């Protein structure tokens, strides 16, 4: 019985040994020799074992490298051994790395060029202007020489209408022509001069037409006196005849331009007095206010004149029955006038002084009268009344005044007896 058991054990051990030997015989590397080009890769593997149990290495990493998965890459020309370790056993692949071979290109034959006939273009290949920047006043003209290399036809165009242009004649013996440019309106413009057949051949002129302005303004007279409602004209003279304007310091006056005086650079400015006071009128160039002249205007009330009677002179005051009550001598008369702008009238005060030379009741103080009339320049009576004395006795002197309204004008005062 024991012999039988020992026999079975021996048979099992024999079978296990044969199985291990068979398995060891199956573990092998898939390539023992290989050749790659620098930069080229190949895959090595160990058969009969799981890949993760294989440890890879290279004997010369300058020649070739190998990854954990057995990917071999050529790095430089030479020889190296790639080693796979499995269960203490080393499997080897001898690797040769060769350089890349650059194929020699087949030379391309150079074709024989076909002669191309040379054609001279029938247009200018260059245009030059002698002045590329010019300044003009309005109506001023300048001529710019335009030079071409071949003398073919050329044209011009302007970026706006600030200028006008006109061609002159071609200059004898040259490929040049004159272009006359005239300022029309203030501003900037660019004149582009092109070949008639090839507008890529061009030159340009930048033109500035100056803003028109006078350099001198004068006014005659520089001082002006007006009555309210009166209008006078002053002469405003300029050196160039360009537009001018005015500015008032206040509204004491109103202004109206007249027409430019034919054959001159002068213009009339009509000024009307609107209110009593003074006003400074600044007359300046329309485009340059620093060019100016000043006019000082004084507005006064309208004229009023009252002619006084011959003095001293005596006047009687009597009853309608002819009884004489008193005699008063007027020795002096003066006037005070105040212009009332709202009604355009004068408030006139007649100041009078005198003495009562006679009274039928000499010791009794009483009021007495002297008559008056105001005549206009045409002889019409416009006002009448009485100069009233204070209550005085014979021989006493008096002073008083009375008031009335008058329009501007000339008048005369006439005194008279009163009945």
pLDDT at 102: 67
Digit-coded pLDDT (tens) for 143-162: 999 999 888 889 988 998 88
pLDDT at 257: 92
Residue pair 166/155 in contact by the 8 Å Cβ criterion:
no
Q: Which two tokens stand for residue 350?
A: 């007649």
Secondary element (H or E) of residue 211: none
Q: What gap in Å lies between CA 210 and CA 141, rounded to an integer? A: 12
Residue pair 244/292 in contact by the 8 Å Cβ criterion:
no
Residue pair 223/148 in contact by the 8 Å Cβ criterion:
no
Per the model's pLDDT, the better-predicted residue between 111 and 232 turns out to be: 232
In angstroms and rounded to an integer, the radius of gyration of the C-alpha atoms of the chain is: 64
Q: What gap in Å lies between CA 84 and CA 70, rounded to an integer? A: 9
Choice among 1-5, 178-182, 229-233, 332-336 with the minimum mean pLDDT:
1-5
Per the model's pLDDT, the better-predicted residue between 100 and 397 turns out to be: 397
**Residue 267 pLDDT greater than 90, yes or no:** yes
Domains, the chain, ordered by start: 28-98 (2.60.40.1080), 127-209 (2.60.40.10), 217-300 (2.60.40.10), 304-416 (2.60.40)
Q: Choose among 317, 315, 230: nearest CA to 270.
A: 230
CB atoms within 10 A of CB 120: 7
Q: What gap in Å lies between CA 295 and CA 274, rounded to an integer? A: 16
Whole-prediction pTM value? 0.48
**Residue 77 pLDDT greater than 70, yes or no:** yes
Mean pLDDT of 219-248: 93
CA 419 to chain centre: 83
Per the model's pLDDT, the better-predicted residue between 200 and 413 turns out to be: 413
Q: Which two tokens stand for residue 242?
A: 């360009």
pLDDT at 411: 97
CA 336 to chain centre: 58
- In this structure, what is the dihedral angle of CA atoms 181, 183, 187, 190, given to the nearest 10 degrees? -10
**Residue 95 pLDDT greater than 80, yes or no:** yes
Which residue's entry shows tokens 């007896």? 417
Confidence of residue 15 (pLDDT cuts 50, 70, 90): low
Residue pair 253/279 in contact by the 8 Å Cβ criterion:
yes
Which residues contact residue 149 at a Cβ distance below 8 angstroms, ignoring those fewer than 6 apart? 124, 125, 126, 175
Digit-coded pLDDT (tens) for 118-140: 666 788 889 999 999 999 988 88
Which residue's entry shows tokens 């054959």? 263
């Amino acid at each position: 019985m024991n012999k039988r058991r020992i026999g079975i054990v021996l048979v099992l051990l024999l079978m296990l040994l044969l199985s291990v030997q068979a398995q060891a015989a199956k573990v092998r590397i898939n390539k023992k020799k290989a050749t790659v080009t620098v930069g080229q890769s190949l895959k090595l593997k160990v058969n009969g074992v799981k890949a993760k149990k294989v440890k890879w290495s290279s004997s010369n990493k300058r020649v070739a490298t190998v990854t954990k998965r057995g990917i071999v890459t050529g790095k430089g020309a030479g020889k190296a051994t790639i080693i796979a370790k499995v269960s203490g056993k080393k499997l080897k692949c001898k690797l040769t790395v060769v350089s890349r071979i650059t194929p020699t290109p087949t030379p391309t034959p150079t074709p024989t060029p076909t002669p191309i006939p040379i054609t001279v273009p029938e247009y200018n290949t260059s245009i030059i202007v002698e002045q590329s920047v010019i300044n003009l006043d309005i109506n001023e003209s300048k001529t710019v020489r335009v030079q071409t290399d071949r003398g073919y036809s050329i044209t011009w165009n302007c970026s706006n209408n600030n200028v006008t242009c006109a061609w002159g004649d071609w200059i004898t013996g040259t490929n040049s022509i004159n272009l006359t440019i005239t300022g029309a309106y203030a501003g900037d413009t660019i004149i582009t001069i092109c070949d008639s057949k090839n507008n890529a051949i061009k030159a340009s002129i930048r033109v500035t037409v100056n803003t028109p302005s006078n350099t001198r303004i004068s006014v005659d007279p520089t001082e002006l006196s007006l009555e309210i409602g009166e209008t006078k004209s002053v002469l405003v003279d300029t050196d160039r005849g360009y537009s001018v304007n005015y500015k008032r310091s206040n509204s004491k006056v109103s202004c109206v331009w007249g027409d430019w005086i034919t054959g001159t650079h002068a213009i009339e400015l009509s000024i009307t007095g609107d209110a009593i006071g003074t006003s400074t009128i600044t007359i300046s160039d329309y485009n340059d206010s620093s060019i100016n002249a000043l006019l000082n205007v004084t507005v006064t009330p309208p004229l009023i004149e009252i002619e006084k009677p011959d003095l001293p002179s005596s006047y009687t005051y009597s009853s309608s029955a002819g009884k004489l009550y008193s005699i008063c001598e007027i020795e002096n008369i003066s006037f005070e006038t105040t212009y009332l702008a709202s009604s355009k009238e004068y408030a006139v005060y007649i100041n009078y002084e005198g003495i009562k030379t006679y009274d039928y009741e000499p010791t009794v103080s009483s009021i007495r009268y002297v008559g008056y009339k105001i005549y206009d320049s045409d002889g019409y009576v416009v006002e009448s009344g009485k100069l009233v004395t204070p209550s005085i006795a014979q021989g006493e002197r008096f002073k008083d005044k009375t008031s009335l309204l008058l329009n501007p004008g000339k008048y005369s005062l006439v005194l008279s007896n009163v009945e």
